[in-house]
Structure 1
Amino acid sequence: MVRLRAQRRHVRERRRRVRRPDHLPEEEAEAVSTLHPTVEKAQALIELDRYDQALALLAGRLAEDPGDLRAWVKIGYCHLGQERPKDATAAADEALRLAPEDYGALRLRAQAMVRDNGWLKVQPVLRELIRVAPHDSFAHAMLADAVWREALVRYGQESGARHLTAEAIDRVTREAADLAMEALRLGPEDIYAHEIAHRIASTAGNGTVSDMLDEAILRIDPHHAEALARQTRKAARAPGVGATEAAELYADALAAEPNSADMRDQLDHATYRLLRGTRWLALLCVGLAGAMVDLFPAADRPAPELPIPVGQRLWFLFIMGVIWAFGAWRRYSRLRAGVQLNVRSLVRRGRWARIVLAQAAWAMACALLIAEIPWTDRAVPQLLFWAGLVPTAATIWFDKKKSR
């Protein structure tokens, strides 16, 4: 119960700090006006996502006073919370009829249009919102978002190109970038402003600015899923980072943001890369077994006599044990608990993960049969050698893309 309450407080804190057009933001400008007690109760219910109860209260309030501007705005946010943008637009229109320059009503109208796929039509409302509240960072950030989207659509329609050329990047994103920079100046702690600036910088291919914005986002909100995913992915894909380190990076990111589907997918990919390594160990054992028996003797050197002595076969068992102890078990035992759990989970969930382990087991079985049976002829061991080597090596080549 204590943990659940802490999670709810964390969610409410993030809602207060992360202001985006698809969330229900605080309406700071509305604080200057006195809310009716019924509207205050409805606002408390909205913060708890109890929209039906809030709507019932607000409907009763409007029956008493149809001109309660704040009640209309709250009704609009209830409809947004219930994914009914058209009803939210109607509520915003009623509020704007009462007060055409009201900040809360204009903001609700813009958000309702965006929820109704109206990014290409929302600019006039946002410019009016900026005129009413010129120092509001959220309005500037949302306008930057709308200008950026419309500029990309217009460029694609006019040029027929699917990708921006280097010459067109500055021209297409200039106004949106200026608006985003203004939003950052007005709201240096506004997550949404940072997100839009990052999106524009990424479009322009400016990796340095994108990284700086990600770091700023994570400073404000250490649990920001998208920034955390981008930074973790960059670190995991850096040169010299192996599968083990990559898996642990993704596991750390998931510990900070457990609901990130992208990080779960990336952790599965890194875990799959770890499992792929078992096939290389098995192939190494197949090769050593073939070398011990000398399956393909050359004409200029004598081949060892068959059967191979028992001592040599036992020595080969020891060598294979060392290979697996240091190449697999020691590596697995040093993984963090979260990565170990994901290894077992992926084996249960993933068909290719089970195929990888089955192929490693098959190759090891062939290696053991080659090395431990006292063969008197090389024909059967040669067949086992190719049976253990070819299918496994061919599949390694086939699923190479899965390890990326």
Structure 2
Amino acid sequence: MSDTPYGGGHPNVARAEALLSVGRIEDACDLLTSHTKEVSHKDADVYALLACCFYRMQKWPASLVMAESALSLNPSHTDGHIFRSEALWRLGRAEEAVTAAREAIRISPHHQSPYQSLSAALRATGDLDGALAAANESVRVSPESVNSHFARYYVLLDMGDNAGAQQAMRDVLSFAPEDADARAVLAGLKDEARELKLPELAREYTAALGTDPGSAHIVAKLEDVALRLVRRTRWVALLCLVYAAVASRAFPTGDDPTSLPAPLGPRMWFFFLMCVGWGVCVWRTYFTLPKGAQLTLLSVVRRALAAKLAAAHSLWGTLCAVLLVTVPWTDRGYEQALVWIGGVPVVLAMWYGAAQRRNERDAAEKAKEKRLKAARERESEAAR
């Protein structure tokens, strides 16, 4: 939250700050806990730093207790009010969180962090206009604070303003071009707006991961893109199967020749085209990707059951297509059975996966609407 160092220069506290800066949160927490037991003088800064530790570990009740301990020692401690606000709205006490954030603003009106906390608390109450105003004020106070622009992004995202959310991330990249989170978020927003193709999306996530190799969030996003690339190959298998059925005369129309087997020349010509089509698909799916994305795609195919199933479906449909055009079938019943055997499992898997993903999106939208409705109801009750 605050950029001000804590603890008045005590070696233990300085070491805890250093541990926090490198992500060793639990070690910093243990050190500070031991420090509070060893010294007789209680320091509000130390408890605020403990609140920060528990906040980063997402232990909201403990963070709230430490923040209130800091405020009992120093009622004007800015970070004490900030961490109290952040913990309160996550514990469902959004109105109290707003009050705590406003108190932090009263104490430190020229610092961006209290405005960010106020924006988050107002979002929790459903007051998106107020949350956006607080986030804009945070940006005004500190135009080159990444967290300030992310506060705007979260509100704009809740408002459904994809273009505004994209602009917030572009603003971050204008002064922090190496910010991995902003680049990854911008890529995701463009993907949601269907402004990027999958290979381009993979390149964006790979570039972001190159800036922050330890980001589990970006790794997950890149793995999701890899899975989508593998799933897309099932369309190629289905197209091969359909054209193989035509070339082998499995389902002749009234204008098509009906004698079997189909001539060897057209069947071999289609086999050649099928090989070329798969070559283009593999080239575009794999070889046009950056090295990091290629490794991720191979890793996903090896580890993820969904990717293995998608690859198996693609191979199965293609194998049936190859059998249709390479074997000189004389019984149309066998050909038609092969088409159905090759196509039905692939179509069912694609339909089921699409339905499941659609249901997940609908559930997420409904949950979001429910939260906003509950927040509005709480706000109206408080007004009455």
* TM band (smaller chain): 0.7 to 0.9
> 1:292, 1:371 within 8 Å by CA — same for their partners in 2?
yes
> Corresponding residue for 1:85?
63
Give the 3 Å change call, closer, same or farther, for CA 212–59 of structure 1 in structure 2: same
Shift of 1:213: 2.2
CA distance in 2, matches of 1:213, 1:330: 32
Shift of 1:375: 3.1
> Corresponding residue for 1:282?
237
Give the 3 Å change call, closer, same or farther, for CA 305–238 of structure 1 in structure 2: same
Equivalences for residues 118-133 of structure 1 within 5 A: 118-133=93-108
> 2:119, 2:130 within 8 Å by CA — same for their partners in 1?
yes
> 1:294, 1:303 within 8 Å by CA — same for their partners in 2?
yes
CA distance in 2, matches of 1:218, 1:312: 54
CA distance in 2, matches of 1:55, 1:110: 21
CA distance in 1, matches of 2:345, 2:34: 67
> Corresponding residue for 2:13?
42
> 1:271, 1:339 within 8 Å by CA — same for their partners in 2?
yes
Give the 3 Å change call, closer, same or farther, for CA 44–204 of structure 1 in structure 2: same
CA distance in 2, matches of 1:297, 1:125: 75
- TM-score scaled to structure 1, two decimals? 0.70
CA distance in 2, matches of 1:272, 1:187: 39
> Which of these residues, 31, 42, 45, is aligned with residue 73 of structure 1?
45
1:210-265 residue CA offsets vs partner (Å, 9 max, x unmatched): 33322223345446565333311122344463332233333333333444444444
> Corresponding residue for 1:273?
228
Other structure's SS at 1:121 match:
helix
1:177-218 residue CA offsets vs partner (Å, 9 max, x unmatched): 443333322222233332333333444444444333222233
> 2:86, 2:121 within 8 Å by CA — same for their partners in 1?
no
> 2:187, 2:204 within 8 Å by CA — same for their partners in 1?
yes
Shift of 1:344: 1.8
> Which of these residues, 23, 27, 41, is aligned with residue 4 of structure 2?
27
My pick for the range that moved more, 340-349 or 315-324, is 315-324
- Determine what percentage of the aligned residue pairs are the same residue: 26
> Which of these residues, 339, 348, 351, is aligned with residue 302 of structure 2?
348
Structure with the greater alpha carbon radius of gyration: 1
> 2:71, 2:80 within 8 Å by CA — same for their partners in 1?
no
Which sections of structure 2, spanning at least 5 residues, go unmatched? Answer: 21-27, 359-384
1:73-96 residue CA offsets vs partner (Å, 9 max, x unmatched): 224423542453254145314422
Equivalences for residues 154-303 of structure 1 within 5 A: 172-222=127-177, 224=179, 226-239=181-194, 241-298=196-253, 302-303=257-258
> Which of these residues, 8, 28, 31, is aligned with residue 53 of structure 1?
31
Q: State the AA in 1 paired with 2:49.
A: Y
CA distance in 1, matches of 2:344, 2:131: 56
1:141-176 residue CA offsets vs partner (Å, 9 max, x unmatched): 3334334433x2xxxxxxxxxxxxxxxxxxx44444
Pairwise CA RMSD? 3.5
Which sections of structure 1, spanning at least 5 residues, go unmatched? Answer: 1-18, 20-24, 153-171
Other structure's SS at 2:318 match:
helix
> Which of these residues, 321, 324, 336, is aligned with residue 275 of structure 2?
321
Corresponding residue pairs, total: 342
Other structure's SS at 2:289 match:
coil
> Corresponding residue for 1:380?
334
